[in-house]
Structure 1
Amino acid sequence: MATTTRNSSVSSQGRLAAVPELNRRPLLAVSAVVGVVLLALSGRNGYHVDELYNRMTGKHLALGYVDQPPLVSLIARAETTVFGDTLTGLRVVPALLACVVVWVTGLIARELGGGRSAQVFAAAATGASVVTLNAGHVLTTNGPDLVDWVVLSWLVIRLLRTSDTRLWLTIGAVFGVSLYAKNLIVLLLLSLLVGVLAVGPRGVLRSRHLWAGAGLATVLAVPTVLWQITHGWPAMEMSAALVTALAADARVAFIPFQVLMIGLLLAPLWIAGLVALFRRPAWRAYRSVGLAYLFMSVLLIAIEGNPEYTGGLQLVLLAAGSVVVVEWAKTTVRRSLAGTALVGNAVMSAVLMLPVLPIAWYASSPVMQQVGVFQLDQAGWPQLTEQVAAVYRALPSQDRAHAVIYANHYGLGGALDRYGPKYGLPHVYSGQNSYADFGRPADDTNVVIAVGVNRDTFAPLFANCESSGKFETSLPVADQGTGFLVCRNPRESWAQTWTELRWIGFQCPYTAEAITAKSKKGCSSM
């Protein structure tokens, strides 16, 4: 392998800071292909439930939200301004971010000594992974967060290779900005620091640049941290609600999720990368990265955390595994096996994460419904809105003049806000998370069309509530069967009533029950 980039300095372990030549054009080509595929499929099906919420937070920009930092909302606002309020327009940036993830994973393979073929294979394997296609298809916090994880990992690996402690400044800047995407980045940095402390090289920690980088990260993070402090740390309540929702299933599902996050056929690749980080003498400096993954896994199992949180580090292990597999694939048979696994994984990931099949196919059997749950979360919103509009039109004219819509969760609220103007629907409100801060009904509001609420807790707040049907669809979407209530005359002022309707947490899939930090049951037990 040709080495055209070389640092004259020698590390404390005698390693020359050298990397192979960057395979620039093929890496760009692979990244571009992933982006083109994502954009070509971006307009199919419909908005994901989280996209409907992010579209709404984009209308109400703030330094923070109850359930997430502000970056994805800023992206949503920029996209709807530049590209229009369309599904494809909302998905341009996620596709571009996926291209960045693919490119940087190729750079990680290069840092680990991977030549031109290994770099391209790492990029292609990343583009063929479930976690990348998931983050690149829809606008959620996953897209910018995944970029942050791979970029930060790349910088740390580069630091370990070169011992150039000035990289701590860049790491600090990236970390500080990353906190505006998702607070989960703290888990990555903690795991990497634990790895370096445990197995070295600890010399990179004895530097004034580390403290300068930490200071830079702190300064950059001040606005979003201050927002959390002044709002009572809602992120902590959201984290508790997530643990409650996952319940004990998080531990049971941890290993299956580790296999599926990259994809079944490429699972041996990232596992080989993990093993090689500990066994290869040439990769001794990077053992801390492998240990970081193991530490994070043990920590998530212990706290019943979301098993999906390891996805970013798994891409780093995938890059390491790509170096291993390219060195292994010296014969035609082995190259064929590696290529088949890559293509097969790409197909499987696309079926799971992208709308490559008609939506009806995902509803055709119980197995396909499980396979296509991500696709089904993007279906049925226009039909739901049309049926709510029928309830609204059936009201007497005097009721319509003072009616509003209350949606139990932000997906319902976002959908009715997006498609409601076509049917002349009134303003939509929701009490979930930060949606509750976007406004409450005016004091003269005496008629509410409630969508998806629990009647036992909602109806007592009003003098009268009557059922007006439910959401009917042939697709097994999460809100199938959601009930519609028409309620009149709140018993208290709207200021008081609104305090009863606000809640922080998650909507349990396929039920009308909310999961909050104070709940005693997880979704699986309902």
Structure 2
Amino acid sequence: MKRVLPLLFAVLKFISGFVLASRAYELQRDEYLYLDEGRHLAWGYLEVPPLIAAQAWVTQALGGDYFWVKFWPFLWGALTVYVVGRMAQKLGGGWFAVTLTCLCYCASGYARLNFLFQPNSFEVFGFTICCYWLLSYIQEERPKYLYFIGLGLGLSLLNKYTTFFFIAALVAGLLLSPQRSLLTNKHFWFAAGLTLLLFAPSLAWQLAHGIPFLHHMSELHDTQLVNVSAADFWKDQLVMCFPAVWVWVPGLLALFAYAPFRPYRSLGWVYAGGLLLLTVLHGKSYYSLGYYPVLFAFGAVWWERLLQSFRYGAFVRPVLVLVPLLMILPIVPFLFTLYPPAYMQVISAKYESLGLTRWEDGKVHPLPQDYADMIGWQELADKTYQAYQALPDSTRAFTLIKCDNYGQASAINYYNRHRVLPIANSFNGSYLFWFPARPTKPYRHLLLIGEGNPAGLVPHFRELRKVGEITNPYAREKGTTILLGNDPDAALIERAYREHKEALAVWEKEK
């Protein structure tokens, strides 16, 4: 019966994901990319390790519908809720501590994170369960927990490279606590070997392709992370987990100052080390979300013990568990896609000062970036298909669809997955690996999505004209055009394949 309460919150977390999602929005840009990676299984990609692609492969095999796309982030979110609830119980927490812990998770930024089919949901789950197993080892000193941690870290490395930061923070936490004795424990090193063994195929892929991870990090820093200041990073820490700030801050402090929690202070150092690394390296704000759930559990148990000595504790506890839900009310529209874009724009304007609509370019926009990235893709895919269908039957098969970015290509492929349409391609991201070989018969038609310099291409076609455009005013891709070029000359095709080769060489320059 002890597991019932955490399990109940896990089930509610999973179901709420579907209930609180407005279908006025489509999938998000990155979700389409990861779904397409499921069509090209490999041990690595330019953007991420292979675990998300394995999930995408299963999703595609099941038809690729909305339920199966969202199944994975909702699953990892539900499992994380269960783990933090069990963590509170392992610390001796009762119904109040478990309820408060689970509600802190459900009412914080994880509501939005666990909505998207991205590696982030598994990242949070992986970090949280590794902390749970470390806590279990500290309590019981059974070697199996070290191997569980090794397994969790190995799978996390196959999910996202930010796991290296967590591993660094974990090692620092061990060195700064009594658990430093683990460094002389053979099971610790065998567990580390298990982590390396699991990650080895992905590591081999990286080495074989010139370690594109390094180029990806450099590009990410120059285009996105450069806009992340330490002040904005820490302000976002308060915003993302604001409904639980009164729980996780005491939880962090208690790990260092509350005597019953001192055996676990290595977990406090994990948080401190991880956040320090992310601050110094200008990490995105949400990179830190995997470090907070453990603090919810410690903070909730600390509050429970504090209230046990309070005369009116029995009356205060039921009220306090409602606090995260009450605090979340003002930001509910930014956690769940409840409202259509027009109304969401009105709401966003009221919270501009919080930076919730600041995009990766560092500028403030009408909608949060994720919301704008969930609009216009079906329109693009349908118009591309209609343009293809309008081509002559005799030449339609000799068509190349070339997109400016991965979002365009992957969305076209997703929404046309049950239609007869050539695969959309791009020179962006992992699509560099999937660009088709030069055909034996020349292309008769080119559908160019998002081409920024159509005037320079006119001399290379018998005819070049616009046949479609994204018109949804709320779409991040608003204004993206669909150009149809008929009978491209050999010079243009030669240039396209040369540019593809050069673009791929940039990623594999270390090879």
Q: TM-score range by the shorter chain?
A: 0.7 to 0.9
Equivalent residue number for residue 364 of structure 2: none
Amino acid at match of 1:69: P
1:348 and 1:302 map into 2 onto residues whose CA distance is 31
What SS does the corresponding residue of 1:73 show, helix, strand or coil?
Answer: helix
Residues 471 and 479, structure 1, Cα contact 8 Å, conserved in 2: no
Quote the residue 1:402 is aligned against: 398
In 1, are the aligned partners of 2:247 and 2:300 still within 8 Å (CA)?
yes
Contact 1:130 1:349 in 2 (8 A): no
Aligned pair partner of 2:44 in 39, 58, 64: 64
Native 8 Å contact 1:23 1:119 kept in 2: no
State the partner residue of 2:277.
299
Give the Cα separation in 1 of the matches to 2:64 and 2:55: 13
Map Cα deviations across residues 422-446 of structure 1 (whole Å, 9 max, x no partner): 7754431122111222232643224
CA contact (8 A) 1:121 1:322 kept: yes
In structure 2, the CA distance between the partners of 1:359 and 1:195, relative to structure 1 (3 Å rule), is same
Match of 1:227 in 2: 205
**Which secondary structure state, in structure 1, belongs to the residue aligned with residue 425 of structure 2?**
strand
Change (3 A) 1:504 1:26: farther
User: Contact 2:375–2:476 at 8 Å: present in 1 too?
Assistant: no
Match of 1:338 among 314, 320, 335: 320
Find the aligned partners of 1:503 and 1:67 in 2 and give their Cα distance: 18
Per the alignment, residue 340 of structure 2 pairs with: 358
Q: Secondary structure at the match of 2:44?
A: coil
Does residue 142 (structure 1) correspond to residue 94 (structure 2)? The answer is no
- Aligned partners of 2:201 and 2:456: how far apart in 1? 36
Q: Which runs of 5+ in 1 are unaligned?
A: 1-21, 506-514, 519-526
Alignment match, 2:362: none
2:360 aligned residue:
none
- Secondary structure at 1:433 match in 2: coil
Tell me the secondary structure at the aligned position of residue 59 of structure 1. coil
Structure 1 partner of 2:9: 30
CA contact (8 A) 1:270 1:320 kept: yes
How far apart are the structure 2 equivalents of 1:145 and 1:457? 45
Q: Distance in 1 between matches of 2:473 and 2:223?
A: 24
d(CA) in 1 for partners of 2:331 and 2:161?
27
Match of residue 102, structure 1, among 78, 81, 84 = 81
Residue by residue, what CA displacement relative to the aligned partner does 1:321-353 show, whole Å, maximum 9, x if unpaired? Answer: 222233345546743652332213454564223
Normalising by structure 2, what TM-score? 0.85
Superposed counterparts of 1:254-293, under 5 Å: 254-262=233-241, 264-293=242-271
Q: Displacement, 1:151?
A: 0.8
Correspondence for 2:218: 240
Q: CA RMSD for the aligned pairs?
A: 3.2
> 1:378: Cα distance to partner?
1.7
Identity of aligned residues (%): 23
Tell me the distance in 1 between the aligned counterparts of 2:388 and 2:399. 8
Q: Write the distance in 2 (CA, Å) between the matches of 1:47 and 1:277.
A: 40
Opposite residue 35 of structure 2, the aligned amino acid is R
Amino acid at match of 2:284: N
Q: TM-score, normalised by structure 1?
A: 0.83
Instruction: Go from structure 1 to structure 2 and tell me whether the alpha carbon gap of 1:383 and 1:166 turns closer, same or farther (over 3 Å shift).
Output: closer
What pairs up with 1:172-191 in 2 under 5 angstroms? 172-191=150-169
Q: Secondary structure at the match of 2:479?
A: coil
Amino acid of the structure 2 residue aligned with 1:93:
W
Q: 1:74 matched to which residue of 2? A: 54
Give the Å deviation of 1:398: 6.6
Matches within 5 A, 1:188-199: 188-199=166-177
Asked if the contact 1:128/1:342 (under 8 Å) is kept, the reply is: yes
Amino acid at match of 2:49: P
Structure-2 residue corresponding to 1:434:
430
Matched residue of 1:448: which SS? strand
CA gap of 1:161–1:304, structure 2 versus 1, over 3 A, is same
Displacement of 1:226: 0.8
Which structure 2 residue ranges, 5 or more long, are not aligned? Answer: 351-355, 358-366
CA 1:324/1:467 → structure 2, altered by over 3 Å: closer, same or farther?
farther
Residues 459 and 465, structure 1, Cα contact 8 Å, conserved in 2: no
Shift of 1:268: 2.4
Distance 1:96 1:452 in 2: 35
Q: Structure 1 residue 129 and structure 2 residue 108: aligned?
A: yes
Deviation at 1:225, TM superposition (A): 1.1
